[in-house]
Amino acid sequence: MGKLRIKPHESKLSALARLADAAIIVITLWCLIELMGLEWLPTYYVMALTSIVIFNFISEMSLTYRSWRGVGIRAEITSVMSNWIAVIFIFVLIDFLFKPTDLYNRELLLYWFLLTPIELICWHAILRLALSGVRATGHNTRSVAIYGATELGLQVHEKLDQMPWSGYRFLGYFDDRNFEAGRRELQSVEGGHRDLVERAKAGEVEVIFIALPLRAEKRIKNLLDELADTTVSVHMMLDVFSFDLLSARWVDLNGMPAISIFESPHIGINSMGKRAVDLIFGSMILLLIAIPMIAIAIGVKLSSPGPVFFKQKRYGVNGQEINVLKFRSMTVMDPGDGEVKQATKNDARITRFGAFIRRTSLDELPQFLNVIGGSMSIVGPRPHAVSHNEFYRGQIHGYMLRHKVKPGITGLAQINGFRGETDTLDKMEGRIRYDLEYIRSWSIWLDIKIIFLTVFKGFVDKNAY
């Protein structure tokens, strides 16, 4: 007997979608070459093949070809667009590193980059609309019942109501429990599990969503035993959303499924992608800021006696201590351990030049050396002093979860105004809220977005002193 495994639910049209996407990429390039009167060079074969490989590779990672029956069209369009942006990013990187200007027409490449995603999105949208039209006529629909008149069951029902395009026809709730007065009026309970099984055997129910709490294991097992004598599709809605999930995902333990509650998003190939962004952008930024850093170093040296750089101990990924580099901005430096006093407004320790580089975040520039070294990332939760970590971990729920990823020079909290002194618990809670939201919603594209937003609104802030 084979091992039990949980697999992603692919669309039945996934093979067609893959072929259609590849065809659109190649045909668009061919048509542009013909329209522009260009000669078909061997380079264009390589471009077409490379783009298909990259697009399909990223699509597999983002599960673009899974079944989208229960997901809005915006999510599918965003997925397709993100995949093509990855293709553009790779080509731009190749151009930046190798500058193969004599191998292809740049105007052709620009038109291809712009037109292809429009055609891909239109194709996916047309397919979606066609399926919606078919389902609106009563074809390709599925009758749905929810077992469990619970808060979770109510949420499932709301989700079904929000996606009429999916073809799910809600029949009602089924539950064996007695509800207090008024509860039955809220949920239209059609019957118990025996009624549900009978209707499933009669072919009246095609899909069942089980929405019971985890403690109802015995009831769930009894229902599944009886439903095994039917052909109904059964989906288990796990009641884990009452927990504070962090990068939740399926885990396969040698065939045994589990759900991670607290997990870092930077594992496996995601870790490689994150590191690649740090090395590429970090190296480019270091080249750009090399001369300004020399000028700042001279300014620090002339402003007051002492070293140009100083190190502070901070918590890195998994709570490991790291040394974070900064340009010195104070006449008296924090020792890096023991009680650490945060810089405050009009702090007497801050030099005049130090006030300028702190307000503009220029004192943080040496941390790009930490990024290249691997102890930090460009984007991530800002590292706090060790003593601050020990204090706030007992004050703010989930505080230490921010250390599931590498600390960063900038982050989601910083571009949303949470910079500088955190002199109240509310300010620190706001920063932690954004830090955890960053970990939950992380993607390479979010990192790139935060980097660019930092350039425009993340450096200078009235709260930084």
Q: Are 365 and 329 in contact (CB under 8 A)?
A: no
The b-or-e profile of 82-93 (16+ CB within 10 A means b, else e) is: bbbbbbbbbbee
Which stretch of 61-70, 305-314, 397-406, 412-421 has the lowest confidence by average pLDDT? 61-70
Q: Which residues pair with 314 in a beta bridge?
A: 322, 385
Assigned token pair, 412: 């989601």
Mean pLDDT, the chain, as a whole number?
79
Which pLDDT belongs to residue 69? Answer: 56
Assigned token pair, 66: 């899974």
Q: Are 247 and 266 in contact (CB under 8 A)?
A: no
Exposure on the CB side of residue 19, measured as CA atoms within 13 A: 4
In 3D space, the residue among 387, 386, 388, 383 whose CA is nearest the CA of residue 414 turns out to be 383
Q: Are 161 and 175 in contact (CB under 8 A)?
A: no
Which pLDDT belongs to residue 368? Answer: 93
- Angle of helix 444-453 relative to helix 73-98, nearest 10 degrees, comes to 70
Torsion angle of C-alpha atoms 221, 226, 229, 235, degrees rounded to 10? -50
Sorted by where each starts, the structural domains of the chain and their CATH numbers stand as 14-136 (no CATH), 142-242 (3.40.50.720), 269-458 (no CATH)
Largest CA distance in the chain: 87
pLDDT digits (tens, 9 = 90+) for 120-144: 888 888 877 777 666 666 666 788 8
pLDDT digits (tens, 9 = 90+) for 238-296: 766 656 666 666 665 555 666 777 778 887 777 888 888 899 889 989 998 999 999 99
- Type of residue numbered 165: W
pLDDT digits (tens, 9 = 90+) for 414-431: 888 877 666 678 888 889
Answer yes or no: pTM beyond 0.85: no
Assigned token pair, 388: 């601050």
Task: Give 68 or 348, the one with higher predicted confidence.
Answer: 348
